[in-house]
Every structure is written in structure tokens, then in C-alpha cells.
Amino acid sequence: MSVDEKTQLAIALHYDREKKGGAPVVVAKGKGAIGAKIVELAKAHDIPIEENEVLAGALSKVELGEEIPPDLYKAVAEVLVFVLRLSGRIR
């Protein structure tokens, strides 16, 4: 998940490692009260949160259910590594 704390813009991504060739998909996004609710739900379910205003802004332009565009792969990959490290799946 990527969050811009100033405007409470939150973007939730889902990545299915089993799906060959698939990129992460935007599964939720919102600003203000909706963004705050997304963050609240993520925290309640122990989903790691990455605060990144620039990435959140770029991901907010992706439609729900759509894969992220190739130009965001590197930035999102860095977030995924962060999440995997926090969860203990990689070192």
C-alpha cells in the first residue's frame, strides 16, 4: 500500500506471484475519508504501509482492477521488497 499522509491518499495493490507475467493490480484507492479507511483497514489486517507521496499520486491515476503501468514497475518493486522484508518472507 502506498500513502500520501498529507491528503490521506491511499492506494492498495495486490500482486499474485503465481500469475506469470502479471503486474500488481490496483485493488483500492481513495482520498480523504476513504483513504483514511483504507489505511485503517490495512493496519487492522497487519498490511505494511509505505508512505510515498509521489508513488501514491502516480498510482491514483490507474483504474481499479488494472495492472500498474510499466513505468511504475521499479518503484512498486521497491515497495514489494519492503513489504516482503517486513513480513519476513525475504531478508
Q: 62: Cβ–Cβ under 8 A, 6 or more apart, which residues?
A: 11, 26, 29, 68, 69, 72
Give the domain range for residue 75: 2-87
Instruction: Please report the pLDDT score of residue 44 as a whole number.
Output: 96
Strands in 1-91 per DSSP E: 2-4, 9-14, 25-30, 50-51
Instruction: Please report the pLDDT score of residue 4 as a whole number.
Output: 54
The per-residue pLDDT string of the chain (91 residues; one tens digit each, 9 = 90 and over) reads 666 555 789 999 998 878 777 899 999 999 999 999 999 999 999 888 888 889 999 999 999 999 999 999 999 998 888 877 877 767 7
Q: Do the Cβ atoms of 27 and 64 come closer than 8 Å?
A: yes
CATH of the domain at 27: 3.40.1690.10
pTM, entire model: 0.81
Report the distance separating Cα 58 and Cα 84, nearest Å: 22
Instruction: Please report the pLDDT score of residue 88 as a whole number.
Output: 74
Torsion of CA 28, 77, 71, 2, to 10 degrees: 30
Number of domains in the chain: 1
